[in-house]
Amino acid sequence: MTDLLQGFDTNTYNPTDNFIDQSKELPTRMVSIYDIELNELNPLQDSEEAITEFADAIYEEGQIRSPLNVYRNKEGSGKKYRLLGGHRRLRALLLNAERYGDAQKMVPVIIEKNSSDEIEEKMKILELNEHRSLTPEQEKIIVSEYLNVYRQLESNGQKPKGQVRKWIASRMNIGEKKAEKYIHELEGYRRKRNEDPEGSDVGTNEENNNETVLQSAEKEHRKEIIKKISDYFGWKVKDNGSSICIKYKNNKNEDGFYSVLNILGFNEDGEFIK
């Protein structure tokens, strides 16, 4: 452990780069935070308030020890490296360096191979983002990014194997139903117009599977809506598939018949008023 922690006791550069094994398999070293460029392809942009709170926690702790993931920057930005993983940590470190003279300015990095194209670079960023806790909003953003990558590969004739929801769920380590829900919110329902009436093998691959999955997603979506309506009015509401049943007498036996009429736009005489 003493050898592993060497280089963390100060913010000075260790010329031997002996923080971790400098083998070709894991090229890790200490670099200045000012030599790393933030990556605009990162989809998660934390608020200034969240970064400030995180920066305070880092400063109180002393410093971070988990390496950032970077690759050598070949563009003329003046920065030696471009970030792949650790955007929140780097932003917090840069903020602390502005506020405190004794803040950590040297950080361990793992130097990754340069990506062959933008899609591969996006995939690396998404994979590295999976190691942090995500809010539902952030999860949806990541699903959106994966969905865009999937569609790009699909249009390039390189469609990944398996259904899109399963492909995304396996990479994010979330349930397929959750991935399916996010996909529905992002793309809407995709329905197969001409189903084979006899259930033959024709058109029953991913297109047919998507049909079944999206029907399931729609059912879950409708359940949420029905529950919201029921909670709002305090009445029992049920979706029968072809009709919605509203029980307008609640547990206190209060009659809500005319309230239902008013909601639908009718007066007490059954005349449409809206």
Q: Report DSSP letters for 201-258, one per residue.
A: STT-SHHHHHHHHHHHHHHHHHHHHHHHHHHHHTSEEEE-SS-EEEE-B-TT--B-HH
Given 62, 82, 115, the domain boundary residue is 115
Cα-trace Rg, the chain: 27
The predicted model gives 238-258 an average pLDDT of 74
Given 84, 115, 146, the domain boundary residue is 115
Q: At CA 13, angle to CA 48 and CA 69, rounded to 5?
A: 50
pLDDT of residue 251: 63
Could you identify the residue written with the tokens 């058109």?
203
In-domain check, residue 209: yes
Q: Could you list the residue range(s) of the whole structural domain that residue 190 is in?
A: 133-226
Give the residue from 88, 67, 71, 87 showing the smallest Cα distance to 79: 71
In-domain check, residue 210: yes
pLDDT of residue 52: 93
pLDDT of residue 258: 78
The predicted model gives 204-225 an average pLDDT of 59
- Over 80: is that where the pLDDT of 15 sits? no
In-domain check, residue 105: yes
- Segment (H or E) for 2: helix 2-5
Residue 251 CA to residue 84 CA, distance in Å, equals 56
Residue type, 221: H
Given 209, 226, 243, the domain boundary residue is 226
Q: Model confidence over 26-51: pLDDT tens digits?
A: 567 899 999 999 999 988 878 899 89
Q: Which residues contact 30 (CB under 8 A, 6 or more apart)?
A: 7, 13, 14, 17, 19, 106, 107, 108, 109
Give the residue from 186, 242, 181 showing the smallest Cα distance to 214: 181
108 and 151 inside one domain:
no
Percent of the chain clearing pLDDT 90 (strictly above): 25
The predicted model gives 247-273 an average pLDDT of 74
- Over 50: is that where the pLDDT of 213 sits? no
**How many domains would you assign to the chain?**
3
Residue 128 CA to residue 42 CA, distance in Å, equals 10
In-domain check, residue 123: no
- Over 90: is that where the pLDDT of 266 sits? no
In-domain check, residue 120: no
Residue type, 198: E
Mean model confidence pLDDT for the chain: 77
Q: Which residue has the higher pLDDT, 181 or 248?
A: 181
- Over 50: is that where the pLDDT of 61 sits? yes
Q: What is the strand order of the sheet 28-32 is part of?
A: 28-32, 106-112, 68-72, 81-85, 36-37
